[in-house]
Structure 1
Amino acid sequence: MVQHLQRTAYLASGFCKDANVAGLAYNAGLTHDLGKYSVEFQKRLQGGPRVDHSSAGAKELMALFKGTPQEGLATLLAYCISGHHTGLLDYGGSSDLPGDGTLAARLKTDVCDYSAYKGEVDLSALTFPKYLPIRPPEGKKEKMGFSLSFITRMIYSALVDADFQETQEFVQGKMPRGGHEDILTLREKFNAHLRKFENPTSVINRKRTETLRACVEKSAQKPGFFKLTVPTGGGKTLASMAFALNHAAEKGLKRIIYVIPFTTIIEQNAGVFKDILGEENVLEHHSNFDWETKKREAGEKADDRTRSVYAKLKLAAENWDISVVVTTNVQFFESLFANKSSRCRKLHNIAKSVIVFDEAQMFPRDYLRPAMSAVWELVNNYGTSAVFCTATQPKLEQFLPAGTPITELAPDPQELFDFYKRVEVKPLEAKLCDDELIARLNAHEQVLCIVNTRKHASGLFGMLEGEGNFHLSTLMCPAHRRQKLAEIRHRLENGQVCRVISTSVMEAGIDVDFPVGYRALTGLDSINQAAGRVNREMRRGVSEMFVFEPQSEFIKKTPRYISQAVEVARAVLRDHVDMPISIPAIEAYFGRLYSLQDPQAFDVKGIMACFDDSDGKFKFETAARKFQVIEDVTETVIILFNEEAKNLIEELKYTQYPSSTLRKLQPYTVSIYQGEFEVLSSKGVILTIAEEYAVLNPEHLTEYYSCDRGLLVPESGGGDGLFF
């Protein structure tokens, strides 16, 4: 037992070295399993009843340091120790009783006699720092509670990672941790790739190279906040990675974490990075990536090296111990506010990293205050750099302490916008009824029209006549959309008729090139994204994209936060009629948009209030439950779209690995509102497989799933139709 405690303490202290709290992590590791010294726990190992062994170490530390200057630090460690299996708890209150599920209750819990530890473990030598190596924002002492909660998360992360690793090594032998190439080696690989294109011949590629070199030149600056403002097509993916690799190499940072809002983009960018840096050096971590299948396939037909690579990547997905991580906004931010050991294990490895936030305007608006507070902690207290990368920079400095510098990496953002101007955005003065819009679309052989709701897109598509017409929305499963996109690209490239009516699903990293576009009035950031699908390759001089305001009833149920974006965009387009997509227009848009919002709108669940107590009485479990970037207000329906989907459904009925099968089924799923789901279920359109998975009834497939529009949801099914 003592060897486990000492080894865990040693590992945890090493993991927390970059967080500058190695000593506290050591203390947590040395005391986390004191409860296993009880006779009752030894009987548990022989098949006896369950025993609470996690509370003992927390109670012991609190008893040892009660009434001393170290009592506050002991409380932080008590969170970590008591929750190293079940998760970080809320502190609770003095009236809590044993069994109430709070830290206060756990500290009152009677535990089995574990005093036998004293024969092997000497706690008298435990040391605590006089000062914690953290500082809240200047003049913001009320935020000390958040800083203390964050350092608690770091210690907890190191403890559970160390405990996992030591236990796995004891049971399975040495685990394949690490083994990836370091930042210096990856920088050389990246530079070798760039040397193939060091003398670009086209004007566009020369401009992209100029931007990339500007990023490299600024990589020697000290860690902090940066932004890269580059228009669509300006090469920001490679430019941001060039900065990240060089900055990490120059400043001794350990890894690059690339955070992306959409899985459609993540797979594309991760593929680029893997091609350049090697698959074994890039962890792709998101909900669509199926590790169980990868591992089984590697075991069946791969050589030893490939099996080793997948084994290391699988472990890296748990702790992010790898040089390059590509992940989603949801995975990144929900992990920062999670309380379960499996989600928190990776957190200590975020310290001393370069974090690139691609499409930074897609930060979760309802959680901007806690999200930006967490990023500030990482930068100011944990040696991390943050890069906000987008064509439409939101005013994120509003959510940082006043005076926080954010260094621009692009050589001259407005000059880049002028250079890459491929589209003239033209707001239409009068509202358009659907008949007028359809007449305009029919006047073009190739045209893209993006609207704000699935209902509007479906209705407009039904009004188009002739061949070469397409509809895209999330009522079509991803595999269906990919199939349609392949047809669309083929028609565009071959000069065939191609009219597309889509929701904003078409804006998220979709590589298409239309000669003209129409966009229903929406936020300026989305208008800019839509413009990126028009004249994308700059083959036509300057094309046109018309911004119109629909006259239809589909906008009546628009939520306030979306209607505010529309109102602000309308005003900004009017004020910047000559240059609606420009740096001044974008700054004006986000400035006005944020000023209209009540401050609480950026922390709608009150996450920050969970950590406003500088005495350490935090609400970790409550915050984790509240911080959900994607609210679970929908139901997922599996579509038997092709033979693979049908085979996977059969597999799902009997498999021992349902999570693996469900990941493989994600390309065949559609999310709908609960009201729509209930109506379809009442009609027998939806079946339940394995008692919990909803599947579109094969008998109703042709009636309720259209090859053009996807799932046909009922008119009276509820919801506001704002799915993309």
Structure 2
Amino acid sequence: MTVVYIAHVREYDKAIQSVRDHLIGVCHLAERYGEKLGLRSVAGLAGLLHDLGKYSDSFQSYIQTAAFHPEDSNYRRGEVDHSTAGGKLLFSLLHHEETSFHEKLLAEIVSNAIISHHSNLQDYISPNMDSDFLRRVRDKELPEYEQAVERFFEDTISREELSDYISAAVDELRQYTAYSPEQCFFLSKFIFSCLIDADRTDTRRFEEQREAEGKDEEGSSHEYTQQTFLFERYYHRLLDHLAALKDNNQAKGTINELRAQMSDACDEFASKPSGIYTLSIPTGGGKTFASLRYALKHALEFKKHRIIYVVPYTTIIEQNAQEVRQILADDEHILEHHSNIIEDNTLHIEQGDEADDGLITQRERLKLARDNWDSPIIFTTLVQFLNVFYAKGNRNTRRLHNLSHSVIIFDEVQKVPVHCISLFNEALNFLKQTAHCSILLCTATQPTLERVKHSLLKDRDGEIVSDLEFVSKAFKRVELVDRIDKPMTNEQLAAWIQTEIEEWGSTLVILNTKKVVKDLYLLLKETSIPVYHLSTSMCASHRKDQLKEIREMLNRKIPFVCVTTQLIEAGVDVSFRCVIRSLAGLDSIAQAAGRCNRHGEELSRNVYIIRHAEEKLKSLKEIEIGGSISASLIGIFNKKAERYGGSLLFQRAMEDYFTHFYRKMESSLNYYVPEVNNEMTKLLMSHPKENSYINHYYRKTGKPFPLCLCGSYRTAAEHFQVIDEPTTSVIVPYHRGREIIAQLNSIEWIEDLNQLLKEAQHYIVNLYPQEWRILRQEGAIVEHLDGMIYELRENWYSKEYGVDLMGEGELEFISW
């Protein structure tokens, strides 16, 4: 009788997926994903070996008992190591004195993916000069290892077939001739991504009782065929929309003619080969549709699989995605990915890496339901983009392979955090050079990313807008007014606004910290002036409703004040008659100016730059240093305006600003990690000859380091975060927020769960550690699904401020 070795058991009907079926299914999917970079067999090898350890008696005994006799189980979940065996086998076959460099490299890259597929990639060498990787693949004793290997060769593939498959993988790896530390890191992450997504996808299919879809067997070329008819339809719909705008009588005049010319330039530029290009359209110049026109045309001409918009703030996602949906008349194929609803650490078993124990429970279904970015058009944030490459938790890395063969548009690219600049540049260089991507950097305030140490490989003559200075002058709608000589308190600011509001009309005040924003709002509330408040303490749906009211006030031309942090600066389409901006970086000042007289309603309006007396910027070094450089440039401009073409908002001043800013922040660009006294770039991308850990290893052991690779991948992932303080996502009780919580508690099917998680993003607020501690102590946080999802109680959410740490929120306007 044929023995069936179990990989997974469905919880609700106790159906079995065999180890053989799972390994072959994952192998085929991983081949399809790896094919995108010519690494079909390399990725497939990871899939073929990843769960080899499930052939052991220990695992089979565990899964049988846990699934069918849980009352008798002596095992704890995740206790049986099933992920080491496959990596150990490959390492033993390929990593010894007789094997070639490419065989050793293959063993290191693929074995690491295998042993790490429920956690993070392991350190080849760690800060304590040990190798977690070698400890697993070479040194760890697995009592039933030989047994599992024999069953694998009997049940799944012969030794000869595996040898041939490995040879094909080695040949594929030879095509990458540079083998720089940067390239090896990204290739390792790419293979890891292919494995993780293939593993999750195959398990999900089993959970949903679906056979492998035909399209997955046909490879990446079929994926493009599926997308191309959508992109053709989208392209023509966009052209029809732009033609309608052109025919509109109100669309005449110099500004609208320039918008049309820049849009046409994007269409023409799209025929150039893929690269890293810049689109420096001034504020109000139609950047969203112009960049989309480039992306659609380029995707069609160069067979790209998807278009990805990356923005700094969720506020831009909400606005841009809605605009694009309306023009393209498609909701189904456009994904908004704001934030992760479920914290990744809640899905890991306490015992460590063996989180997948074969039982597909509700906890596992939540993991399977996460989006892997396989939609044709995706809107996501800069945080999510950087997390794909560098953050811990394999939910992030799972998406990486789907970035290949894409057009990626970075909106407001100047908002990349300083400590992530080098990492950002290296990721884009990989996407351009290896992953067949075309990248467009969109902003009116282009940063000089090509002038730093880990420089961005921009293409020469890569600016789409010709004669930038002429275009900038044509779009000039404001004058910057210097009021920084005397610092101003909130009381003085409120008094000034009261005196001038009738003359100014609609007024936007942008300050640097949430505290001074809220304090000014409370002061202005005591006056007769209508006042609005915007903050990241509000969920996306709440901000959207507030902005709708604000736009209605602007349309009615009623004098009022909106007080906000810098969240409104990047891409939010509002136009005030007056803007007051607290001193910050020149790029922030320029973006703030873009919210004033945005559509040229008047010949010119004023943007006042003030120095706020009450802002505490000690922990906001980028704003503090940016402000000091801006103050210097303002002083130079006041004496010699012609140096910058008559405006600090033009590109010449912006280049000077970023050159000085990056020079001043040079020590921060490579992401210093104080816990290990090293830079993130060195942890991930240092050459063995320059790696201090390798030198210490030799002095410690008296032996040369035995591996080709020396990255501290796990250490880096454990310390990486785009935002300085890690945040925790909570669903807030705004409108449908509570209803979504109730549905998440009862949901069964993964497809429904996927849709619900996407909707839940609109009702999420990310809490900083101090906020989280206060709310937990006050009993304001409710845990759901064993702590996988968090909800904020009603009294701690306000219709004015969003999250209210005082527990005095009022949500009487909510109806169910």
- Write the letter of the residue equivalent to 1:124: S
TM-score by length of 1: 0.83
Give me the whole-angstrom Cα distance separating, in 1, the residues matched to 2:774 and 2:117: 44
- Write the letter of the residue equivalent to 2:163: S
Tell me the equivalent position of 1:173: 210
CA contact (8 A) 1:82 1:103 kept: no
RMSD: 3.6
* 1:202 aligned to which of 220, 235, 252: 252
Q: Mark the CA change 1:663 to 1:162 in structure 2 (over 3 Å): closer, same or farther.
A: closer
Q: Mark the CA change 1:647 to 1:166 in structure 2 (over 3 Å): closer, same or farther.
A: closer
Q: 339-348 vs 367-376, which deviates more?
A: 339-348
Q: Mark the CA change 1:485 to 1:275 in structure 2 (over 3 Å): closer, same or farther.
A: closer
* 1:582 aligned to which of 630, 640, 650: 650
Give me the whole-angstrom Cα distance separating, in 2, the residues matched to 1:84 and 1:635: 24
Give me the whole-angstrom Cα distance separating, in 1, the residues matched to 2:767 and 2:25: 49
Q: CA deviation at 1:231?
A: 1.2
Alignment of 1:528-607 (within 5 A): 528-550=590-612, 552-555=613-616, 557=618, 559-577=620-638, 578-605=646-673, 606-607=679-680
CA contact (8 A) 2:278 2:441 kept: yes
Give me the whole-angstrom Cα distance separating, in 1, the residues matched to 2:793 and 2:541: 16
1:5-50 Cα distance to aligned partner (Å, 9 max, x none): 4454343233212212223223323333333443444434422755
Q: CA deviation at 1:661?
A: 8.4
CA contact (8 A) 1:637 1:694 kept: yes
- Write the letter of the residue equivalent to 2:186: F
Tell me the equivalent position of 2:581: 519
Give me the whole-angstrom Cα distance separating, in 2, the residues matched to 1:260 and 1:402: 18
1:178-205 Cα distance to aligned partner (Å, 9 max, x none): 6994235413432233134324442333
Give me the whole-angstrom Cα distance separating, in 2, the residues matched to 1:537 and 1:498: 19
Q: CA deviation at 1:466?
A: 1.6
Q: CA deviation at 1:266?
A: 0.9
Tell me the equivalent position of 2:104: 71
* 2:81 aligned to which of 45, 49, 52: 52
Task: Report the 3-state secondary structure (helix = DSSP H, G, I; strand = E; otherwise coil) of the residue aligned with 1:470.
Answer: strand
Task: Report the 3-state secondary structure (helix = DSSP H, G, I; strand = E; otherwise coil) of the residue aligned with 1:519.
Answer: strand
Give me the whole-angstrom Cα distance separating, in 1, the residues matched to 2:93 and 2:276: 41
CA contact (8 A) 1:424 1:542 kept: yes
1:442-495 Cα distance to aligned partner (Å, 9 max, x none): 212322222212222233334432232333334555555444433332222222
Tell me the equivalent position of 2:494: 438
- Write the letter of the residue equivalent to 1:26: G
Tell me the equivalent position of 2:809: none
Task: Report the 3-state secondary structure (helix = DSSP H, G, I; strand = E; otherwise coil) of the residue aligned with 1:426.
Answer: strand
- Write the letter of the residue equivalent to 1:283: L
Task: Mark the runs of 5 or more structure 1 residues left unpaired by the alignment.
Answer: 291-313, 715-724
Q: 581-590 vs 266-275, which deviates more?
A: 266-275
1:600-639 Cα distance to aligned partner (Å, 9 max, x none): 4441332222222552133222222222112445677876
Q: Mark the CA change 1:96 to 1:233 in structure 2 (over 3 Å): closer, same or farther.
A: closer
Task: Report the 3-state secondary structure (helix = DSSP H, G, I; strand = E; otherwise coil) of the residue aligned with 2:37.
Answer: coil
Alignment of 1:499-510 (within 5 A): 499-510=561-572
Alignment of 1:106-117 (within 5 A): 106-111=137-142, 112=144, 113-114=147-148, 115-117=150-152
Give me the whole-angstrom Cα distance separating, in 1, the residues matched to 2:458 and 2:545: 46
Q: 169-178 vs 259-268, which deviates more?
A: 169-178
Q: CA deviation at 1:599?
A: 3.1
* 1:89 aligned to which of 122, 125, 141: 122
* 1:381 lines up with 2:434 in the alignment: yes
Tell me the equivalent position of 2:694: none
Tell me the equivalent position of 2:296: 245
- Write the letter of the residue equivalent to 2:715: T
Tell me the equivalent position of 1:630: 723
Give me the whole-angstrom Cα distance separating, in 2, the residues matched to 1:333 and 1:584: 29
CA contact (8 A) 1:93 1:104 kept: no
Task: Report the 3-state secondary structure (helix = DSSP H, G, I; strand = E; otherwise coil) of the residue aligned with 1:274.
Answer: helix
* 2:530 aligned to which of 453, 468, 475: 468
Alignment of 1:255-654 (within 5 A): 255-277=306-328, 278-287=330-339, 318-338=371-391, 340-399=393-452, 400-401=454-455, 404-406=458-460, 407-428=462-483, 430-434=485-489, 435-442=491-498, 443-445=500-502, 446=505, 447-464=507-524, 465-475=527-537, 478=540, 480-550=542-612, 552-555=613-616, 557=618, 559-577=620-638, 578-605=646-673, 606-611=679-684, 612-614=686-688, 615-632=708-725
- Write the letter of the residue equivalent to 2:501: H
Task: Report the 3-state secondary structure (helix = DSSP H, G, I; strand = E; otherwise coil) of the residue aligned with 1:110.
Answer: coil
Q: CA deviation at 1:511?
A: 2.6
Q: Mark the CA change 1:379 to 1:680 in structure 2 (over 3 Å): closer, same or farther.
A: closer
CA contact (8 A) 2:423 2:681 kept: yes
CA contact (8 A) 1:180 1:281 kept: no
* 2:34 aligned to which of 8, 16, 26: 16
Q: CA deviation at 1:219?
A: 1.3
CA contact (8 A) 1:639 1:695 kept: yes
Give me the whole-angstrom Cα distance separating, in 2, the residues matched to 1:315 and 1:37: 23
Task: Report the 3-state secondary structure (helix = DSSP H, G, I; strand = E; otherwise coil) of the residue aligned with 1:471.
Answer: strand
1:343-399 Cα distance to aligned partner (Å, 9 max, x none): 322222212211111110111321111121111111112222211111111111124
1:578-614 Cα distance to aligned partner (Å, 9 max, x none): 3110010111111110011133444133222222255
CA contact (8 A) 1:96 1:105 kept: no
- Write the letter of the residue equivalent to 1:581: L
Q: 382-391 vs 193-202, which deviates more?
A: 193-202
Q: CA deviation at 1:228?
A: 0.5
1:421-444 Cα distance to aligned partner (Å, 9 max, x none): 111122225224335433432212
Give me the whole-angstrom Cα distance separating, in 2, the residues matched to 1:116 and 1:635: 44
Task: Report the 3-state secondary structure (helix = DSSP H, G, I; strand = E; otherwise coil) of the residue aligned with 1:220.
Answer: coil
CA contact (8 A) 1:637 1:670 kept: yes
- Write the letter of the residue equivalent to 1:454: K
Q: CA deviation at 1:89?
A: 2.0
CA contact (8 A) 1:89 1:101 kept: yes
Give me the whole-angstrom Cα distance separating, in 2, the residues matched to 1:678 and 1:341: 27
1:388-419 Cα distance to aligned partner (Å, 9 max, x none): 11111111112454875351112332222112
- Write the letter of the residue equivalent to 1:279: D
Give me the whole-angstrom Cα distance separating, in 2, the residues matched to 1:439 and 1:374: 48
CA contact (8 A) 1:507 1:529 kept: yes
- Write the letter of the residue equivalent to 1:53: H
Q: CA deviation at 1:568?
A: 0.7
Tell me the equivalent position of 2:135: 104
Give me the whole-angstrom Cα distance separating, in 1, the residues matched to 2:779 and 2:416: 36
Give me the whole-angstrom Cα distance separating, in 1, the residues matched to 2:513 and 2:290: 34
TM-score by length of 2: 0.74
- Write the letter of the residue equivalent to 1:272: E
Give me the whole-angstrom Cα distance separating, in 1, the residues matched to 2:36 and 2:579: 49
Give me the whole-angstrom Cα distance separating, in 1, the residues matched to 2:203 and 2:172: 32
CA contact (8 A) 2:583 2:610 kept: yes
Q: Mark the CA change 1:470 to 1:58 in structure 2 (over 3 Å): closer, same or farther.
A: closer
- Write the letter of the residue equivalent to 2:493: L
Give me the whole-angstrom Cα distance separating, in 2, the residues matched to 1:635 and 1:280: 29
- Write the letter of the residue equivalent to 2:407: V
Task: Report the 3-state secondary structure (helix = DSSP H, G, I; strand = E; otherwise coil) of the residue aligned with 1:90.
Answer: coil
Give me the whole-angstrom Cα distance separating, in 2, the residues matched to 1:85 and 1:637: 25
